[in-house]
Amino acid sequence: PGSDTADEAVRTTCDDASICKRFAVSVGYWKDPYIQYFVRQAKERKAPEINRGYYARVQGVQHLVSAFLRQTQCNCQIINLGSGLDTTFWRLKDENLLPLKYFDVDFPMIVARKLYNIKSKPPLSKPIMEVQSGESLLMDSHSMDSTRYSIIGADLRNLPDLEERLKKFNMNPDLPTLLVAECVLVYMSPQQSAALLSWAAKTFPAAMFINYEQINMGDRFGRIMVENLQRRHCDLAGVEACQSLQTQKDRLLLNGWEDATALDMIQVYSSLPQDDVRRIEKLEFLDEKELLEQLLLHYCICWATKDKQQLGLADITF
């Protein structure tokens, strides 16, 4: 595992993501009544192209998550890898789409912050208690286990430890399992992310992996993006794996996944429900159309499935 300062910089990316999401929510791009309890409102406005980029990211990932839940009739588990301060558990609860169990995994320090907010804010703790049955809820400073929701402090580069902690909180490898990595793998070396993907493929016979991250990092705009992140002390150890849609797909297929699809965010944006896209396009005037296109062209959603139980997981798409 990398040095402590490098890990510290990776952890600040989690604030960035949530602050940008909160800002976009405050403008009306999508609804998330829970994110306000995790991060402060941004002091300055975020540019419209940034907000639209987050809209595409959040709606794109949500679309696939909901499709997996419908395909498995919620008889499944979800493991959010590098979940940061993500609020998906609460959204699914409100939409009556909770899986049997939802797991969030991140560095212990991030988990501690998430748990602190949950403990001190009833709008976050109440929904967890509402689906709590019989047994008592376990919570210490770096983990929580409840009936439907677990939060685990672990390093994704240490797979034996990750697996042990998941099992301790009743992760069941025989259930259809959705793994989500939203802007996470790029912070691990290609060897480490390959090991994570192949561990997941080996562990779960019926599963889907969703990965949202950068692509086309070798071109001019991509190199500028990398430089900007590195200037903020982020070690993008995995950037080599983000060359193209094809390298993204190949990485999944080479690490034990059966069926893989990769779409850049221009494709995702144009596959989202267009009435909602028209609504959000009226929220803010966008001067920099080309900049938005460049941004969308440099991120992708790829997903892969393994379907031992023939649940039709490979049919999931936009």
Binding site listing for S-adenosyl-L-methionine = 57, 82, 155-156, 182
Contact pick of 48, 53, 60, 84 for ligand SAM (by CB under 6 A): 84
Q: How far is the CB of 287 from ligand SAM (least distance, A)?
A: 26
**Distance between CA 272 and CA 263 in Å, rounded?**
12
Which of 299, 286, 190 is closest to 237 using CA atoms? 190
Helix 4-27 to helix 108-120 angle, to the nearest 10 degrees? 40
Q: Which pair of structure tokens corresponds to residue 214?
A: 């950068």
What residue type is 74 in one-letter code?
C
Question: Is 146 near ligand SAM (CB under 6 A)?
Answer: no
Question: Is 151 near ligand SAM (CB under 6 A)?
Answer: no
Q: How far is the CB of 255 from ligand SAM (least distance, A)?
A: 17
Contact pick of 56, 110, 115, 262 for ligand SAM (by CB under 6 A): 110
Question: Is 313 near ligand SAM (CB under 6 A)?
Answer: no
Q: How far is the CB of 87 from ligand SAM (least distance, A)?
A: 9
In 28-158, which ranges are continuous DSSP H helix? Answer: 48-71, 88-94, 108-120, 122-130
Q: Give, in degrees to the nearest 5, the angle at Cα 102 between 69 and 7.
A: 120
Block residue for tokens 């049997």: 100
Q: Which pair of structure tokens corresponds to residue 280?
A: 């959000």
**Chain center to CA of 148:** 18
Question: Is 17 near ligand SAM (CB under 6 A)?
Answer: yes
CB 137 within 8 A of CB 149: no
Question: Is 14 near ligand SAM (CB under 6 A)?
Answer: yes
CB 157 within 8 A of CB 1: yes
Question: Is 187 near ligand SAM (CB under 6 A)?
Answer: yes
Question: Is 178 near ligand SAM (CB under 6 A)?
Answer: no
Question: Is 106 near ligand SAM (CB under 6 A)?
Answer: yes
Question: Is 183 near ligand SAM (CB under 6 A)?
Answer: yes
Contact pick of 51, 59, 77, 83 for ligand SAM (by CB under 6 A): 83
Collapse the DSSP code of 179 into the 3-class scheme (helix H, G, I; strand E, B; otherwise coil) and give the result.
Answer: strand
> Using CB under 6 A, which residues numbered 43 to 82 contact ligand SAM?
82
Q: How far is the CB of 8 from ligand SAM (least distance, A)?
A: 10
| Contacting residues toward ligand SAM, per CB under 6 A | 10-11, 13-14, 17-18, 82-84, 86, 106-107, 110, 155-157, 182-184, 187-188
